Structure 1
């Protein structure tokens, strides 16, 4: 998920502000009559690892067949360095016609007025099927500047063989059942000093969001384009308290001052001494790279709610699609988006293991228990605050991480930890 969190730098913001005055945008293609008697090229930038090649090959072939004289120039971009590359492209007069943005990048670019306003096109772009979390990340000041593309969310990955041996007959469907499962796992395997019922690092703030959402809270509230932190609410505090309860109940040896990437939790899980971890479906492949026999023993279930039989809301990361305001082919670009967001190609995304951004048909994901668990929770997904400053917050000194470490280690009590994080978030929002 880190790949969706590239920070907007001060230099980039200046460049984009200048670019916002560069042209009216959207009309460079000349309207419906433009290019009827000449060849045109539609330049598309998608990110490495996003759309599978089978999808893009079929989509581009269909698009060219239905648009005489049009050639799709498809360029796969790398996440490393994409922030600067997008900033340069969007600040010029000849940007690509379609770009993929991480959902935490989208608000910053939208606020700089370098993306085409798509508010009037939502209905034509399968808008009634959009994932709400990605729709929200593409909005700015009451307008829609990008569309959902695909998403993913965390789940509990677990060892089916360990559950069976511990007498756990079904995956937990409530927080209490989750805690009961941990108790049974520790009773069965706790004599092994290396065993962990749940590997849970202290700074896994994505998981914390689920607990805060489940309590009915959030980390910020919105008023127009302004966000105000709400970490001192009773609901946010209750979510933080459950995180601590889970850490203490599990007996995890994960560091309290680092996240799931330091050390990489999938590698720890793959060593065979951990019964559960909270992660993304593709972490199964990472965990079993050196232990392929383990793969058949791993399944998943949604993060449980405190309400029995319900799943907790989940943070949803993903990508959006947008049209640069200075695109010379805005008319063609909208046709491209319409095709990409159609049920045909959204189904292909689901078949590739992603949560489609513009489809409620998740049946392709139900063929595998791990992807099914992600799909089951996906319709209750949430986004982080859609503010231009969020990417910088997440990539920098994240107040949520500092809060977790301070509270879990006892450096601060609940009230002080939440108050300090709240103040830090408010300062970052205003910055």
Structure 2
């Protein structure tokens, strides 16, 4: 996420009018069918516009089911992960909680901490986009349900590109570097980056590894537990080419993602020409910007460029969607509420906000935002897909990827050093 709307920020809205928080402990009462049931729900849609949508759907469900109480805990992405880790390690996961699937969900499933949802959601999965369901399907079984899908790409300020006399987005890495040079020469900050958050930085290295080595290189590295290969070293070398141009905003190493002085706000306030981010970027730019309106029609989107001589195609996408897993001791009503949350009507409702690219195919007609339509069409026509590396691999490996790429960007580790560090951690998993 590294995602998304997987990557959202706490802007003083968390908990506002959405129910009191109850720790994810499990009482006998809430597990009795027909008895009072409390569903403890942790999600990261903690800002406008999705915060009130989730709250409204929960309230409607409670009204229709007098024996069910939904206690919602909205959390910023990193705060969510920090809170979930001890809950998972203690064997007390929330009843319903944010998940990006992949290696993290796989470990939770292996530990018996999440419910097998195959029987309950197989019919629904048949109506969803394959790119959305794949990360939540493990060994043929369903352990999570997506509500959103998407990909990472470059979001850019059309006005700032015009001021730098750039007439078209770059399509190759060499062109991207030239674009950065031209933007800097025009006295404009080329790229906004949340160096403190770390996960945004890993997008560059992961995409470069994809473009250089192809999707197979990332899959093979996971199997072999070895990232100390020419393709991954080359990815670091290409990223260092960008870093050496000093393209990021002042103070980027201390910048978070969605804070008032963070990556999204820098873009939303017109303080940088580009950011590499997921489908949720416009929404967070808007909510983080001073005007609360962001860039509007000044915002554009383009795919991550190819690398000359690389095996990967520009039609191969990197990213992921948001979904939910169900804790092992969740009350029976949790399954039914989750079905309600992701039914076609509520998927349309979520998509209409502009913050969600729906996982249910028939809800795609509710996408109205021009840029989100471009992302959806780009994803639908993609020829391959790779989940965020900090979710695709085991948690310890994903964290090391984020940490190591951050060290590379900060200039404290070389491309050759970071692959050795990541491999060392991978070998222990």
Q: Common fold, TM-score beyond 0.5?
A: yes
2:241 maps to 1:245: yes
User: Which protein shows a greater Rg?
Assistant: 1
CA distance in 1, matches of 2:152, 2:116: 31
Q: More deviation in 214-223 or 117-126?
A: 214-223
CA distance in 2, matches of 1:73, 1:230: 47
Per-residue displacement from partner, 1:263-318 (whole Å, max 9, x unpaired)?
A: 733354466553222233334225631x66863474131332318994552232x5
Structure-2 change in CA distance of 1:358 and 1:240 (3 Å): farther
Give the corresponding residue for 1:326. Answer: 329
CA distance in 2, matches of 1:402, 1:275: 26
Structure-2 change in CA distance of 1:250 and 1:374 (3 Å): farther
2:338 maps to 1:337: yes
2:427 maps to 1:426: yes
Matching of residues 382-393 of structure 1 within 5 Å: 382-384=386-388, 390-393=394-397
CA distance in 2, matches of 1:307, 1:407: 19
CA distance in 1, matches of 2:89, 2:423: 34
Query: Post-superposition shift, 1:143?
Result: 2.9
Unaligned runs of 5+ in 2: 8-23
Q: Is the 8 A contact 1:269 1:287 kept in 2?
A: no
Query: Post-superposition shift, 1:227?
Result: 5.0
Q: TM-score, normalising length from structure 2?
A: 0.69
Structure-2 change in CA distance of 1:299 and 1:230 (3 Å): farther
Per-residue displacement from partner, 1:238-261 (whole Å, max 9, x unpaired)?
A: 433332233345644667967764
CA distance in 2, matches of 1:292, 1:326: 40
Q: Is the 8 A contact 2:345 2:363 kept in 1?
A: no
Query: Post-superposition shift, 1:71?
Result: 3.7
Q: SS where residue 196 of structure 1 aligns? A: coil
Per-residue displacement from partner, 1:113-172 (whole Å, max 9, x unpaired)?
A: 132212233322234414535642x34455322212335544323221122233333434
Q: SS where residue 281 of structure 1 aligns? A: helix
CA distance in 1, matches of 2:145, 2:394: 19
Query: Post-superposition shift, 1:85?
Result: 7.9
Matching of residues 82-231 of structure 1 within 5 Å: 82-83=83-84, 86-87=87-88, 91=92, 98-103=95-100, 106-130=105-129, 132=131, 135-136=134-135, 138-140=136-138, 142-151=140-149, 153-187=151-185, 189=186, 192=187, 195-199=188-192, 204-215=201-212, 216-217=214-215, 221=219, 227-231=223-227
Structure-2 change in CA distance of 1:256 and 1:401 (3 Å): farther
Paired residues, number: 380
Q: Is the 8 A contact 1:198 1:252 kept in 2?
A: yes
Unaligned runs of 5+ in 1: 6-15
Structure-2 change in CA distance of 1:244 and 1:85 (3 Å): closer
CA distance in 2, matches of 1:269, 1:295: 8
Structure-2 change in CA distance of 1:124 and 1:71 (3 Å): farther
Per-residue displacement from partner, 1:51-92 (whole Å, max 9, x unpaired)?
A: 543455357647865xxx65431211143464278549964x
Per-residue displacement from partner, 1:161-213 (whole Å, max 9, x unpaired)?
A: 122233333434444543443344345x1xx3xx3223457751123212222
Structure-2 change in CA distance of 1:198 and 1:40 (3 Å): closer
Give the corresponding residue for 1:303. Answer: 303
Give the corresponding residue for 2:263. Answer: 265
Give the corresponding residue for 2:357. Answer: 355
CA distance in 2, matches of 1:315, 1:390: 17
Q: TM-score, normalising length from structure 1?
A: 0.69
